[in-house]
Amino acid sequence: MNTRGSDWYRLDNAAKIYPVLPNERFTHVFRVSATLNELINPIVLEKAIEDLRPRFPSFFIQLRHGLFWYFFEKNDRKMMVKPETGIVCENIKRHQNNRYYFTFFYYHNRISLEVFHALSDGDGAIQFLKAVIKHYLTLIHDLKLTDDTIFSVGEVPEFQEFSDCYEMNYKASKRVVYKNPSAYLMKEKKIPVSACGVINSTIPTAQLLNLAKKYNTTLTQFVASLLIYSVLSITENKKLKKKVISVTIPINLRPYFHSRTLRNFSLYFYTTYKPRDEIPDLKSIIEKVRNDFTKELVQDRIQNRLNNIVRLSKSFFVRIIPLPIKMVIFKIAYLYYGTKPSTMTFSNFGQIAMPEELKSYVKSFTFNLGSGLKPAIAMNSYNGITKIIFSRAFMNPLLEKTFFTYLTSMGLDVEIESNFFENNFSIK
């Protein structure tokens, strides 16, 4: 927001592209869920969310448009809590959602929060969900908590929480261009529009960490490497000619710039592998991925990428173009350039922490990414368990089967859940 008492604010620099893009396939919606050890009371859940309205002003908004840009404005309409429909990360239809761009769902003992990416990223969403869970459990069980690690009802939001941290950390400098080689795009029969295939795995965290340690790499690098290895294993070599296997990796910028924002503050880099005549061993892929991470995750390179994001919106030419023309230009640019640099997206949301006072009530956390036209994989760990979740637009789950077959062959205990779209529709 512009000031602490303001009722409107500009979209952050990462969010400006999202309002012109969403449709039934490219929803730009993600989900974070928490499974409790008890059934959900939707009436109490709705009260918990409403009680937190003053604490999270950057979520309780509606989208408006001006002459040159979209902007957010305070939304005082009733917030609706809905039963799950079975469709994950569906396009949020604002007129059916009281103009909000987030939605809370419940199903048995699970609470799910879906967020349109213009509002926030995964870090901001998990902070919101954890605050709702904390207050919900307090109301249900009349808890007297001493925890102060999760946002609470009655706290006054800090200005930085809803600031545009891209703008705040921008440094004027010469533009640095990072070229992305042409990426291999998987082409399969697609699931019907507005539906998303989900495969959710549960794996002991200690087993995964030991496996990554065996290969002398981090958990994120190991999983990214195994994803590349799986694509190589199921793809004919001729389809990969002059292409690279490219994985989009989001970076949470908050640790790099000491930020507490609840809005978007992340960017992406690509880890790539150029196929050879024969499928390489996993170790050589890990070595290439490790080198990419080492090269990309340095302050100077991250600063340059942040500068590139902000520089475009500061351009005089971009600023003076009326919004309807911007929408056309952004759509064409995204469809032609934005979807091509990667084969898939993989995001590790890391270790989810909950205070000891609440751990006995919360069984697990799960992240789901919208798939668009390529696989999207999310990972997080909580209380000794790691979840790796595939979202896909394709009917055939061959990539997922290959990936998890490799993990089980390495001795890991893997439990799988699915919404079984591949069984509900015929594959031709």
217 occurs within a structural domain: yes
The answer to whether residues 146 and 226 belong to one domain is no
How far is the C-alpha of 33 from the C-alpha of 36, rounded, in Å? 10
303 occurs within a structural domain: yes
Among residues 147, 168, 189, the one where a domain terminates is 168
The answer to whether residues 216 and 361 belong to one domain is yes
133-181 confidence digits (pLDDT tens): 999 999 999 988 888 899 999 999 998 898 899 999 999 888 888 887 7
Higher per-residue confidence, 67 vs 216 = 216
61 occurs within a structural domain: yes
**Phi and psi (nearest 5°) for 207?**
-65, -45
The answer to whether residues 368 and 221 belong to one domain is yes
pLDDT of 203: 98
The answer to whether residues 147 and 281 belong to one domain is no
What's the domain count of the chain? 2
The answer to whether residues 117 and 263 belong to one domain is no
The answer to whether residues 332 and 371 belong to one domain is yes
pLDDT of 94: 84
The answer to whether residues 139 and 71 belong to one domain is yes
CATH of the domain at 254: 3.30.559.30
156 to each of 55, 147, 153, 364, how far by Cα in Å? 6, 17, 9, 29
Average pLDDT value for residue range 251-258: 96
pLDDT of 427: 42
22 has a pLDDT exceeding 70: no
The answer to whether residues 68 and 13 belong to one domain is yes
- Give the angle subtended at the CA of 10 by the CAs of 4 and 13, to the nearest 5°: 120
129 has a pLDDT exceeding 80: yes
108 occurs within a structural domain: yes
The answer to whether residues 294 and 218 belong to one domain is yes
pTM score of the predicted model: 0.92
Higher per-residue confidence, 318 vs 372 = 372
Listed in order, strand segments (DSSP E) in 12-85 are 29-36, 61-65, 70-74, 81-83
Q: What is the DSSP string of 246-268?
A: EEEEEEE-HHHHT---SS--EEE
309 occurs within a structural domain: yes
How far is the C-alpha of 412 from the C-alpha of 414, rounded, in Å? 6
Among residues 124, 147, 168, the one where a domain terminates is 168
The answer to whether residues 366 and 409 belong to one domain is yes
State which of 131-135, 193-197, 267-271 shows the largest mean pLDDT: 131-135
The answer to whether residues 143 and 275 belong to one domain is no
Higher per-residue confidence, 3 vs 40 = 40
Higher per-residue confidence, 26 vs 56 = 56
CB 133, CB 358: distance < 8 Å: yes
Average pLDDT value for residue range 68-86: 88
48 has a pLDDT exceeding 70: yes
CATH of the domain at 105: 3.30.559.10
3-state secondary structure of 273: strand
Among residues 118, 152, 168, the one where a domain terminates is 168
52 has a pLDDT exceeding 80: yes
* Structural domain boundaries enclosing 68: 8-168
DSSP 8-class letter at 372: T
Question: pLDDT-based confidence at 428, cuts 50/70/90?
Answer: very low
* Tokens linked to 1: 């927001």
How far is the C-alpha of 281 from the C-alpha of 157, rounded, in Å? 50
| pLDDT, the chain, mean | 88
The answer to whether residues 161 and 234 belong to one domain is no
